[in-house]
Chain A
Amino acid sequence: MPRPGFVLDVDKSTPPTLFWHGEGFRLEKLPADRSRVIYAPEPHEAIDDIDGAIRTALLNPIDMDPLPSLLFPGMKLTIAFDDVSLPLPKMRRPDLRQRIIEQVLTMAADAGVDDVHIIAALALHRRMHEFELRHALGDRVYDAFEPRGLLYQHDAEDPDNLAFLGTTDQGEEIEINKRAAESDLLVYVNINLVAMDGGWKSTAVGLASYRSLRHHHNPTTMEASHSFMDQHASELHKSTWRMGKVMRDNGPKVFQIETTLNTDTFPQPFEFLSKREWEWNAKDRALYLGTAKSVAKLPARTARKIFHGIEAPHQMTSIQCGEVEAVHKITTQNVYDQQLVEVEGQTDILTMGIPYICPYNVHSIMNPILVMCTGLGYFFNLYRGKPLVREGGVVILTHPTTNEFHPVHHPSYIDFFEEVLADTRDPHVMSQKWEQQYAEDDWYRHLYRTTNAYHGVHPFYMWYWGSHALKHVGKVIIVGGDAATVRKLGFTPASTMNDAFEIASDTVGRSPTITHIKTPPLMIADVK
């Protein structure tokens, strides 16, 4: 029976807590009697017969006819799927997308459908490498469709392949991939890793262009999203749902397939990472020491290769398909069932260990901008109700925060760090002053369209993701990071956790209350 998540009140017998520190870990002792650590719920059981479950779901959708009856010869069928930013870490083969798409294709073949396009719905993310596509879709689908040019990646900067669908009543423009818009049926294959994903976000964002995205990927919308994990309190989702309404009226018929995963995040040698510290046996302790020490001695490239090679054993816990909103309601409930932890009240300080991976640096380097985004954008927003830290409190992150950028994946991030952050750190100012020239720069556009680079405007979105946190929090401290780089981000560097508490005392006093959110594995704090 998997145990639910719980909040541990730290006392003098509590062993030190494991903090992620990029490609590595630290053990930190939190002060007794005023700290608490939030542990994620244990992973639910995965489904045994996954292929059978998929087949059953496709034949029994919600509020729509069974898939085979929606397929007919001569139709235009488009299958869109979530890109490499999910799931984290990557799944073991066969990926859920492979299983689902193969079954959809089998049904399509049986119905005599010839015109099938398979599109990676990556919006302004980077194009996936061949090995990443093969991992997600399997070799059979890749080898059958890619050489024919029927498997490709959404290009948000291709003016000939975008269709304008209309505007919402708030003036938000919806422009999506043309092939998807003009299909008789658009099947979307989603993996709902966190409650933020899925629903209309899949199609209205995943297949959209800058013209559409700027209406909700901006500081005002982000600041008003409390939080992204709670659809009903998130301005981002409200905007996306408005767009969904226009899509429903003017866009293609959408057959949404959503799946949830359990939180079984770490394979064999890294199991200790999801275990509670006082439950570590001798083997876990040995593995921790072995891993921590050896990784510390390796060059950064090798350490990254090892960590990014981790394949998580997480597996499907539910699948539902059919009408977008009906399906998403069920999916969201399933995600909450797995991930919610009840937490009483807020504290003065929130600490978090930033791991080596976030959705935007898969097989890549976590640059300082992404450190900020992972901490203040994602982890800060893993709540429902109220943030875990009080307004004006302090957030402490642990991450090496080196001045390293992946030149192929994140070229515009380097310029953003050098040019924009040197000028301003205020999301509103930078969106007025700098965003447009990065969004329209010809070089970044070229790199996005032809190589594997994130769009020129993407670093701005990463910064905006943390807008709410920047507004809410009084101070941000990074422990164990490169001092000059941390300062450039506008945060305060500290060498140890105790130094960080010292520095924080200016803002929160000498005896602040502390919450540590021990994630990954993923969770959502339901703060009362």
Chain B
Amino acid sequence: MKALQVSRSVRKLGMARIASAISPVTATRLGPLEYTSVDEPELPGPGWHRVRTRLAGICGSDLSLVEGHASLYFEDWVSFPFVPGHEVVGELDDGTRVILEPVLGHEARGFAPPFDGAAPGDGDDYAHLATGRLEPGIQTGFCCSTGGGWAPEFVAHESQLHRIGREAGTDMPDERAVLVEPFAGGIHAALLAAPVVAARHDTDQPAIVAVLGAGTMGLAAIAGLRRYVPDVRIIAGARYPHQRQFAKEFGADVVVSPDELHRAVRRAAGCHMVGDHLSSGAHVTIDAVGTSDTVADCLRITRPRGRVVLLGMPADVTLDLTGLWHRETELKGAYTYGTEHLPDGRTVRTFDLAIETANDLRAERLLSATYPLSDHVDAIAHAATAGRRGAVKVAFDLRKEDI
């Protein structure tokens, strides 16, 4: 079949990185991503299904990889050549539509799950990600054994599938379903704010949570905060007007442009500014971008002993951590999703929360454009400049006659 594949070519990765300074189109053309013939993946064993892709989204981490910006950390956790694409809504052989939870967890790889009912992303030992019956790969979309969403078909384990459709009781259009995976990531990050919010001393005022960046992940984090973390005042920094619009709708209390964010947080906290840093600030700040500058900004506006959640995937960042040391700030990574313990006591899987949220907020409005696989250069260029072009999420559309 014809699909998009990333091959291991250091030269191409380097060229893509350099070319990304010129334009994303050039970077994609020179980069390691190719539209080429690949073999259909084989079913690794029982419990595995063949899935035909309907819609597959383009995520920030995909862009990072394709443009050569991804960290070398992933060298040992991915297997080349692989087909990217982990935000997928597809169709099983029996016609049931499914949303993919792409993490290749314990069950998929043939290990016992860490606890009963664990989600693929749970557990505190990542050994299984690089071993087991599959080639190394943290997710579908990074593993050469499973294929990925940017292809007409791939294989997925039962533990990775969420059925949707009338029979499953949740009738979601494809366009909404493709947003579920990124929403789960954002909601998981939002829930990482909950313990800090709950443990604070000044409970007579709502907790201040700042969100920096209002792309898909940032907007999902805002939604997650509003819906599942009680008693918060959400201050969002969004660069583009359409992002600000969504941020307001999804529940942010104050939406400002990113360079005004620190002042908005200062006003909400009523604190002083000492040099660049606020003397107090937000209880939790969620960085949905992940560059040196944004992480530094987040450290500046978070109060001492507060938490900065890194939602956007950072690569090699340079930071002066003296502020973090002095303020006893916590820096916490937020990766995918798993099983959540909500403040109200419930234990749920993030994915279920994401489905619920996507339905309530009509998440299909965030899907701004779709492209066929053959048009991948334009698709990736659009995704890379989404903000400026008034878009939020860009996806590949592989549906044919039955749209």
Contacts and interface: CB of A to CB of B under 8 A. Distances in A.
**Do A and B touch directly, given a CB cutoff of 8 Å in the complex?**
yes
Contacts of A441: 270
Interface residues of B, number: 10
A441 B260 CA distance: 18
A266 B272 CA distance: 42
A7 B270 CA distance: 52
A446 B272 contact: yes
A419 B267 CA distance: 9
Interface in B113-169: none
B244 to A, nearest CB: 12
A443 B260 contact: no
A414 B263 contact: yes
A446 B266 CA distance: 14
Interface in B268-314: 270-273
B256 interface: yes
A415 interface: yes
Interface residues of A, number: 8
A414 B267 CA distance: 11
Max chain B CB contacts within 10 Å: which of A441, A442, A443?
A443
B263 A443 contact: no
Contacts of B271: 442-443
A418 B264 CA distance: 9
A414 B262 CA distance: 12
A414 B259 CA distance: 12
Nearest to B256: A418
A443 B267 CA distance: 9
Interface string B237-275: 000000000000000000010001001101100111100
A419 B266 CA distance: 12
B266 A418 contact: no
A442 B267 contact: no
A414 B260 CA distance: 10
Nearest to B269: A443
Interface in A420-462: 441-443, 446
B256 A443 contact: no
A448 to B, nearest CB: 13
A512 to B, nearest CB: 36
A446 B267 CA distance: 14
A419 B273 CA distance: 18
Contacts of A419: 264, 267
B272 A442 contact: yes
A419 B264 CA distance: 8
B169 to A, nearest CB: 44
B28 to A, nearest CB: 34
Contacts of B270: 441-443
Contacts of A418: 256, 260, 263-264
A375 to B, nearest CB: 26
A415 B271 CA distance: 14
A65 B354 CA distance: 85
Contacts of A415: 263, 267
Interface string B78-116: 000000000000000000000000000000000000000
A418 B262 CA distance: 12
Nearest to A442: B270
A415 B260 CA distance: 9
A443 B269 CA distance: 11
A103 B266 CA distance: 48
B354 to A, nearest CB: 33
Contacts of B267: 415, 419
A149 to B, nearest CB: 26
A446 B256 CA distance: 25
A315 to B, nearest CB: 43
A411 to B, nearest CB: 9
Interface string A393-433: 00000000000000000000011001100000000000000
A441 B271 CA distance: 9
Contacts of B256: 418
A21 B273 CA distance: 34
Interface string B204-220: 00000000000000000
A414 B271 CA distance: 16
A419 B261 CA distance: 12
Nearest to B254: A419
Nearest to A407: B273
Nearest to B273: A443
Contacts of B263: 414-415, 418
A110 B270 CA distance: 52
A380 B375 CA distance: 61
A418 to B, nearest CB: 6
Contacts of A442: 270-272
Nearest to B271: A443
B330 to A, nearest CB: 25
Contacts of B273: 443
A443 B271 CA distance: 6
A441 B270 CA distance: 7
Contacts of A414: 263
Nearest to B266: A443
A415 B263 CA distance: 7
B372 to A, nearest CB: 39
Nearest to A438: B267
Interface string A17-52: 000000000000000000000000000000000000
B238 to A, nearest CB: 14
Nearest to A444: B272
A418 B263 CA distance: 9
Interface in B141-199: none
Contacts of A446: 272
Nearest to A414: B263
A295 B93 CA distance: 74
Max chain B CB contacts within 10 Å: which of A414, A419, A446?
A419
A442 B267 CA distance: 11
A504 B266 CA distance: 40
Contacts of B266: 443
B267 to A, nearest CB: 6
A446 B273 CA distance: 10
A471 to B, nearest CB: 29
A158 B260 CA distance: 31
A446 B260 CA distance: 21
A415 B264 CA distance: 8
A400 B273 CA distance: 30
Contacts of B264: 418-419
Nearest to A443: B272
Nearest to A422: B256
A508 B260 CA distance: 38
Given A418-B256, A418-B263, A443-B266, 14 more contacts: A414-B263, A415-B263, A415-B267, A418-B260, A418-B264, A419-B264, A419-B267, A441-B270, A442-B272, A443-B270, A443-B271, A443-B272, A443-B273, A446-B272
19 contacts: A414-B263, A415-B263, A415-B267, A418-B256, A418-B260, A418-B263, A418-B264, A419-B264, A419-B267, A441-B270, A442-B270, A442-B271, A442-B272, A443-B266, A443-B270, A443-B271, A443-B272, A443-B273, A446-B272
The 3 closest A-B pairs by CB, nearest first: A443-B272, A418-B260, A415-B267
